[in-house]
Each structure stands twice: as structure tokens, then as C-alpha cells.
Amino acid sequence: MDMGKIAIIGAGNFGSALAHILSIRSDIMGALWDSDSAKMQKPETLQSVLSGATVIFLCVPSWSLRSAGESIAPLLSPGATVISPTKGLEEKTNKTSDEVLTDIFADNATVALLHGPMLAAEMMEGLPSFATVASASQSTCTDLQELFARTTLTLEYSSDVHGVALAGVLKNIYSIGLGMTEAMRLGSNFRGWYVRAAVREMSKIIVACGGKPETAYTSAGIGDLVATGLSPTSRNCKVGHELVQSGECSTVSEGGESLPQMMQILQTASIVAPIATSIADIVAGRADASTLLKSVL
């Protein structure tokens, strides 16, 4: 793949962190674009940013993924690759990020997911980060490994694209629970047991939805769960803390936003998932945080 020009769409925390770690690649032309012009160093049109770009990182939240994808689709260069770190479910359709991207780019771009422990604040500090590249072709991962070779981001490959998309949704949900266990001061022993139980449940759901069991044990699954669930900079962790401390939550997170859709998926497929269901009940105000203990033990 020609790495002559890279475009990053979405100058939020993660998009900005990606741009930061790629800034050491002086041999690559990079462009960061956002619908909010105040977030860009210099004003450019979306068309000019995408012109000639071979790799596009679409760094937007799940609720904006379809609209953002549809806005860039007509502007892509032939043979472009679209990489998505988005982890969530589409509200109206319950579709995962890979399904939404396939709807949009099936005929005019290669699509891959980039999921794993990549906390933006740590990436900005130059600390190591890790991700799973999920794509139908391993060559896409090889190209991205070359792109990030001299950076702090280490990549692994998975062919289980749908499983990785599901892992991204589920790890956000279970991260809320991990935040609760920390706020309840249940100790490291219980958190260790919780992670074990949550990953087993994650694997069960992934398999029931057509993915591979081992995907739950990749950086996109357990790796991202631990990083997100224990990080003070994580919105999902913050949601868990707020629910324990006040019984209410004002923080918006991907995990919280995906819960209603995930519960519909579980119900439709008759999947029994006590931990995820307990978290959904707590977030919705139907139960208090103590019910999480019963779902794990």
C-alpha cells in the first residue's frame, strides 16, 4: 500500500492522539480534519483532505459513524482503506461498526477495525499502546504495522472482523462494571475475578453472534477491558464510579449508549448474560450496584 498520504477524520481525543504518534513519520503526509473548524490547525475542506489519501482513519463516535462515513464515501480515492476505531452499536438498527461500514463502503473501499487498549491521554504522553487490526485480509494489518513501525503503537491481526466489533462494544459495557467494583472498594482480588467472569461472558456472546471465542482474549477484548475499566481517564469507568457514588450518571459513554441495543440483541438471540444484564439494570435505575456482586459470584 502506498502510504503517501494519511487522513484522520475526527479531531477528538483519539483522532488527535493518532495524529500525534504519527507525527514522527516525516515521510508521510498527514491531515487531520474535523467538522468543527476550531479543532484544525489550518482550515481545509473535507474534499482536499481526502484527495489522494490512501488510508483514512474515521475517528468518530458510534452515533455519528454512518453519517460521517456517508459524507466521505463519494470523496475517496480508488483503492483507499478506511480504518475505524469506533466501538458501539447503531441505535436504530443494532448494527455493529463493521456492519455499518460494510453498508457504506462495500463497493469502493477496503475496511478494517482498530480496537485495543489505546487510551488517548497515554498515547499523547508517548506511552505504549496496543491494538487488534481486524480485516478480511492480513495484508491490511501488515501495511498498518509498517505505518506504525516507529511509533508507540503495536498491532496484532485478527480475521474475526465481526467478533472484534462485538468485543469493542462489550468491553465498554463490562468496563462500566469494572469501574463499579473499584468505586465499591471490593479490592483487587474481586476485580481479578470480575475480569475473568466478564471475559468468559464476552466470549460466549461473541460466539453466539457468529464470532470466534478467542477474540475475547485479544487486545480488542480483555486488553481493552482492563485498560478502559481501570483508567481514571475512561468515560466508561467514570460512569461506573458515578452510579456507585450517587445512583445516577451524567457522563455519556459508548458503553452506556450501547446497552439498550445490546440487551435487544441478547434477548433476540436468547443469550443469557447475567453480568451485562446486571449492568444494564443498574444504568437504567432498575437495580442498585450491589446486584453486580450477585451476577459475578
Q: Return binding residues for substrate.
A: 87, 235-236
Residue 61's CB is within 10 A of a number of other CB atoms, namely 17
- Residue 98 phi/psi, 5-degree rounding, is -65, -35
d(CA 225, CA 103): 28
For 6, 76, 166, the CA distances from 56, given in Å and listed in that order, are 6, 9, 22
Annotated active-site residue in 171, 204, 212, 238? 171
d(CA 234, CA 172): 10
171 catalytically annotated = yes
Cβ-count burial of 38 within 10 angstroms (0-12 exposed, 13-18 middle, 19+ buried)?
exposed
d(CA 200, CA 214): 10
Give the pairing type, strands 110-115 and 129-134. antiparallel
- Which triple of cell numbers denotes residue 159? 480475521
Binding-site residue positions: 10-15, 87, 120, 235-236
For the chain, where are the alpha helices, taking DSSP H only? Answer: 13-22, 46-50, 65-72, 97-105, 120-124, 138-147, 161-183, 187-208, 224-230, 235-246, 254-268, 274-283, 291-296
d(CA 161, CA 238): 28
Residue in the block written with cell 433476540: 268
Binding-site residue positions for NAD(+): 10-15, 120, 235
Dihedral in degrees, nearest 10, Cα atoms 167, 173, 174, 180: 160
d(CA 160, CA 69): 22
Point out the residues that are catalytic.
Answer: 171
